[in-house]
Amino acid sequence: MARVLTPRAEDFPRWYQDLIAKAKLADNGPVRGTMVIRPAGYAIWERMQAEMDARIKAAGAENAYFPLFIPESYLKREAEHVEGFSPELAVVTHGGGKQLAEPVVVRPTSETVIGEFMAKWIDSYRDLPLLLNQWANVVRWELRPRVFLRTSEFLWQEGHTAHATREDARAYARKILHEAYEDLMVNVLGIPVVVGLKTARERFAGATATYTCEGMMGDGKALQLGTSHELGQNFAKAFDISYSSAEGGREHAWTTSWGTSTRMLGGLIMAHGDDNGLRVPPRLAPIQAYVMIVKAGDGVGEAAAKLRDALRDAGVRVALDDRTDTAFGRRAVDAELRGYPVRVEVGPRDLAAGNAVVVRRTDGSKAPTPVADVVDAVLAALEADQQALHDEALAHRRSRTVEVSTLAEAIEAAATGWAMVPWSAVGIAGEAEANGQGVTVRCLLRADGSVPDNEDEPDLTAILARAY
């Protein structure tokens, strides 16, 4: 078979770009740094959204929608926040054919405008917790854009909540972190993320604690796939989000925010893709089984359509490819590129023997299978390959992670993977030194793997890596 993609080992970034182009997942937009998400890519995003949205709702948050345009003055109310964002802002100066009296900013995130409305909506402790989420586009001007990973406009969900106490805010930020983000990433995306605490240096602007889900990509680098923040009372004070307590006093609320984005599509590609293209975990895949007519022949079309229907009836997301005017080999290469978990190839020769061929994308195995057994074989493959992709990614992460005891060793190890090193051996000075060499502290963990409350806890482990 002719080489379709630049092999990963040869040039990983090039492989990534090739894959996105050839699998028709996305294109660059006409304005620098923007992207067009094509149907094949967007269908995966829709499945991520649906799975995430269900988890967010199960955690009690409600969806709402806040405006794209934010008055410039809002961003200035929380000093640290504006510093974090100002170089990235897109500013609208003209509207309705006139220069605007006050320029408006295209939201880089909605903390400020949501803070303003929380202040209006919250009156008493009875109004708390207020648990909001929105699905929206945001804009952060990117000088070195990369499709899905860093784009000037991206799609995301941003949750914003207000609570009566610090404890309640913390518990909710962690609930989303584990029950929505970690669960989705591990059990649907099949990416064995490490969940930990960001250092002060890596924290979100305005947050008192940032929790993160970090995934290892195929080249050993880290990708931050989602973050959940405790904002303390910083935003509540800046926007006067306060409530009358049961005791009658007036108190500032404690707020959180949390987000995941189309960046997860980049993570999916880089965590599971191979030299033949994307591999989509079955639970996520918009098309789980791809029934292909190899070439026209006696009863082939009918048999393929019957299999499609039988798979659909069994609850499988299925598509039928009957484009026999395009060469089968080309269509098979496309199916590999797209990463459909299972292909069912129906051709005259196999069919004459009563078989269709079940091809598994995860390991490339091809099994001639009696037509009557195809549905069971597909169901079994989908179940097994969800786990197989996860386990392969976990084995990869383990093989590329080393435990070391000094900063120098950690920086060296980060050239090819992740380093686990005592946080006490790094510290603030060590972190700055690592940063100077392109290595960052991805997160801090407790000895038992759980998530610390702050970086001053004893015996923390730091994960150092290069990152996207």
Question: What one-character DSSP code corresponds to residue 196?
Answer: E
Q: Per rule CB under 8 A, is residue 141 in the interface with a second copy?
A: yes
Tell me the C-alpha distance between 37 and 367, whole Å: 34
Q: Which of 143, 327, 395, 415 binds a second copy (CB under 8 A)?
A: 143
* Residue with Cβ nearer a second copy (105 or 434): 105
Q: Which of 9, 54, 58, 92 binds a second copy (CB under 8 A)?
A: 92
Tell me the C-alpha distance between 232 and 204, whole Å: 12
* Residue with Cβ nearer a second copy (37 or 216): 37
Residues 323-352 contacting a second copy, CB under 8 A: 325-326
Tell me the C-alpha distance between 150 and 440, whole Å: 17
Q: Per rule CB under 8 A, is residue 405 in the interface with a second copy?
A: no
Least CB distance from residue 76 to a second copy, whole Å?
14
* Residue with Cβ nearer a second copy (72 or 409): 72
Which stretch, 84-92, 165-173, 270-278, 290-298, contacts a second copy (CB under 8 A)? 84-92
Q: What is the distance, to the nearest Å, from the Cα of residue 463 to the centroid of all Cα atoms in its chain? A: 20
Q: Which of 2, 3, 96, 456 binds a second copy (CB under 8 A)?
A: 96
Which of 259, 275, 222 has the alpha carbon at shortest distance from 441? 222
Q: Extract the runs of DSSP E, i.e. beta strands, from 164-270.
A: 194-197, 209-216, 222-230, 242-244, 250-252, 254-261
Q: Per rule CB under 8 A, is residue 136 in the interface with a second copy?
A: yes
The site string for a second copy over 149-168 (x = CB under 8 A, - otherwise) reads ---xx-x-------------
Q: Per rule CB under 8 A, is residue 296 in the interface with a second copy?
A: no
Q: Per rule CB under 8 A, is residue 187 in the interface with a second copy?
A: no
Size of the site for a second copy (CB under 8 A): 57
Own/partner contacts of 383-392, CB < 8 Å, gap of 24 or more, are 383/282, 385/281, 385/282, 385/341, 385/342, 385/360, 385/361, 386/190, 386/281, 386/282, 386/283, 388/362, 388/363, 389/190, 389/272, 389/279, 389/281, 389/362, 390/186, 390/190, 390/191, 390/192, 390/281, 392/362
Tell me if the bond preceding 129 is cis, omega within 30° of 0. yes
Q: Per rule CB under 8 A, is residue 120 in the interface with a second copy?
A: yes
Q: Per rule CB under 8 A, is residue 139 in the interface with a second copy?
A: yes
Pairing of β 289-293 and β 318-321: parallel
Pairing of β 130-139 and β 153-163: antiparallel
Give me the amino acid identity at 276: N
Least CB distance from residue 106 to a second copy, whole Å?
7
Q: Per rule CB under 8 A, is residue 95 in the interface with a second copy?
A: yes
Tell me the C-alpha distance between 129 and 12, whole Å: 45
Least CB distance from residue 81 to a second copy, whole Å?
16
Crossing angle of helices 374-399/300-313, nearest 10°? 70
Pairing of β 26-28 and β 289-293: unpaired
Q: Give the count of beta carbons closer than 10 Å to the beta carbon of residue 289.
A: 28
Q: Per rule CB under 8 A, is residue 145 in the interface with a second copy?
A: no
Which stretch, 86-94, 253-261, 350-358, 408-416, contacts a second copy (CB under 8 A)? 86-94
Which stretch, 112-120, 233-241, 374-382, 451-459, contacts a second copy (CB under 8 A)? 112-120
Least CB distance from residue 126 to a second copy, whole Å?
8
Q: Which of 9, 13, 14, 69 binds a second copy (CB under 8 A)?
A: 69
Q: Per rule CB under 8 A, is residue 31 in the interface with a second copy?
A: yes
Q: Per rule CB under 8 A, is residue 97 in the interface with a second copy?
A: yes
Tell me the C-alpha distance between 441 and 420, whole Å: 10
- Interface residue list for a second copy (CB under 8 A): 27, 29-31, 34-39, 42-43, 45-46, 62-71, 74, 86-97, 103-104, 106, 113, 116-117, 120, 126, 132, 136-137, 139, 141-143, 152-153, 155, 325-326
